[in-house]
Amino acid sequence: MGIYLPIAEMSVNMVVLLAMGAAVGFLSGMFGVGGGFLVTPLLIFYNIPPAIAVATGANQVIASSFSGALAHFKRGTLDMKLGGVLLTGGVVGSSIGIYVFAYLRSLGQLDLIVSLLYVAFLGAVGGLMLVESVRAIRRARGGQAATLRRPGQHNWIHRLPLKMRFRASKIFVSVIPVLGLGAIIGFLASIMGVGGGFIMVPALIYLLKVPTNVVIGTSLFQIIFVAAFTTVVHSTANQTVDVVLAFLLMVGGVAGAQYGARVGQKLRGEQLRALLAVLVLAVALRLAFDLFVRPASVYSLATGAV
C-alpha cells in the first residue's frame, strides 16, 4: 500500500514502514533503548534522503522514549535531577549539532559524516558491549554472580570539582562530566537522529556508576527532551521533519515495543546485552560496507541547495 510523504516528496510502501517501526520497536522494548540508532540507518537503506531520515528519526524517538519513560516513572526508577542536568548539557550540544548539520549539508558531506559517526559509535559501543557481556556470561557459567556495579572503585571523574548529590541514583559526583555527557549526546542526537541511549546507558553505568535500574529510565527521560528539542530545531532550520513518515514509524514502534518488552523479561541481562551488541555491530558493518564498496553510481544529485 503506497503512501506519499509530503516532506520527503516520495511515494513509499506504508506496510514496509509500519513493519520497520514494529521491528525497531520490538528491539527497543526488548533492550530498553530508544531505537533511533536503528531507525535512521534503516530509513537511509530505504532510500529516504539522509537529512530527512535523521530529523524524522529524532521525532520518532520521542514517542518510544516517552512511552518507556512513563513506565519507569511509575516504578520510580527515574532520577529527575540527574536527567535535568544531563538535559541542560543536551540542549547546548544539540544546538551546536544543528548548525554543524546544516553546514555539512551545504558542503555535501552530511551523508558521509552521518555514516562515519554511525560506524565509529556503533562499532565502538557494540564491540565493548560484546566483550563485556561475553565475559559476564562466562563468569555466570563459572558460578559467580554477574554484577556491573563496583561501588568501591573510584576514577578520575570523582576528583572533579562542583560536586552534586543525586539521591535517586545514590551518587555524589561533579556536574562537569554530567553536563559534558549530556552535551555529547545532544550533539550526536542532532547529527545522527538518535536519542543517544546506546551511548548514554553504558556511560552512566561505567563512568558515573549509576545503578543499572535507574539508568534506563533516566536515559529515556532526558532523551524525550533532547529529541523534542532536536525535532523542533531541525524543523525550524532545515524543514526536514516528515510527520507522516514519523507517525507510521511511531505506530509500528509503539506496538512492537510492548511485545519486545515481554520477550526481554524472559532473557537474562548479560544475554540481552550480548544480543544487543551483535545487533549494533551488524548495523555498523552494513554502513561501513556502503562507505568502502564502490557505489552503483559515483554521481548524486541534490536539488535546491547551492
Partner 1 sequence: MLLPRALLLLLVTALAGKAHAQETVDEGIQIGLSTDRVSITADFAGANLTIFGALDNVDPLISRQGRYDVVVVLEGPPRTVVVRKKTRVLGMWINTQSVVFRDVPASYSVAMTRQPQDITTDANYRRLALRTENVHLRPLDPEENASTLAEFTDALRARKEARGLYVEYAGGVQFLSRTLFRATLRLAPNVPVGTHRARAFLFRNGVFVEETSAALTIRKAGLEQRIFEYAHEESFLYGLAAVFVAIVTGWLGRMVFRKE
266 binds partner 1 (CB under 8 A): no
- Cβ-count burial 245-255 (b if 16+ within 10 Å, e if not): bbbbbbbbbbb
Contact track, partner 1, 26-55, x by CB under 8 A: ------------------------------
| Nearer of residues 145 and 293 to partner 1, judged by Cβ | 293
Total residues binding partner 1 (CB under 8 A):
59
160 binds partner 1 (CB under 8 A): no
Give the Cβ contact number of residue 269 at 10 Å: 16
Give the Cβ contact number of residue 128 at 10 Å: 14
Interacting residues with partner 1 between 1 and 30 (CB under 8 A): 1-4, 6-7, 9-11
Rounded Cα–Cα distance for residues 64 and 76 (Å) = 18
Region of 150-158, 171-179, 194-202, 254-262 interacting with partner 1 (CB under 8 A): 254-262
105 binds partner 1 (CB under 8 A): no
Rounded Cα–Cα distance for residues 24 and 280 (Å) = 12
Rounded Cα–Cα distance for residues 67 and 80 (Å) = 16
| Nearer of residues 285 and 305 to partner 1, judged by Cβ | 305
Of residues 69, 298, 88, the one with CA closest to residue 185: 88
The single residue listed with the C-alpha cell 514502534 is: 253
The residue from 15, 99, 103, 109 that contacts partner 1 (CB under 8 A) is: 109
CA distances, 54 to each of 129, 139, 296 (Å): 25, 39, 23
The CB-of-247 to partner 1 minimum distance in angstroms stands at 6
The residue from 28, 40, 60, 222 that contacts partner 1 (CB under 8 A) is: 60
The CB-of-236 to partner 1 minimum distance in angstroms stands at 5
The residue from 176, 251, 267, 281 that contacts partner 1 (CB under 8 A) is: 251
For residue 121, the one-letter residue type is: F
| Nearer of residues 92 and 228 to partner 1, judged by Cβ | 228
Question: How long a stretch of residues is the chain?
Answer: 306
The single residue listed with the C-alpha cell 544480543 is: 275
Interacting residues with partner 1 between 211 and 250 (CB under 8 A): 224, 228, 231-237, 239, 241, 243-244, 246-247, 250
| Nearer of residues 10 and 137 to partner 1, judged by Cβ | 10
- Cβ-count burial 156-188 (b if 16+ within 10 Å, e if not): ebeeeeeeeebebbebebbbebbbbbbbbbbbb
Report CA torsion sign: 131, 125, 22, 268.
Answer: positive
299 binds partner 1 (CB under 8 A): yes
List the grid coordinates of 42: 534503516
| Nearer of residues 157 and 244 to partner 1, judged by Cβ | 244
The residue from 27, 48, 50, 64 that contacts partner 1 (CB under 8 A) is: 64
The residue from 23, 26, 28, 111 that contacts partner 1 (CB under 8 A) is: 111
**Residue 75: which residues within 8 A CB-CB, separation 6 or more?**
217
Rounded Cα–Cα distance for residues 300 and 104 (Å) = 16
The CB-of-189 to partner 1 minimum distance in angstroms stands at 14
Binding stretches for partner 1 (CB under 8 A): 1-4, 6-7, 9-11, 59-60, 62-67, 70-71, 108-109, 111-112, 224, 228, 231-237, 239, 241, 243-244, 246-247, 250-251, 254-255, 257-258, 291-295, 297-306
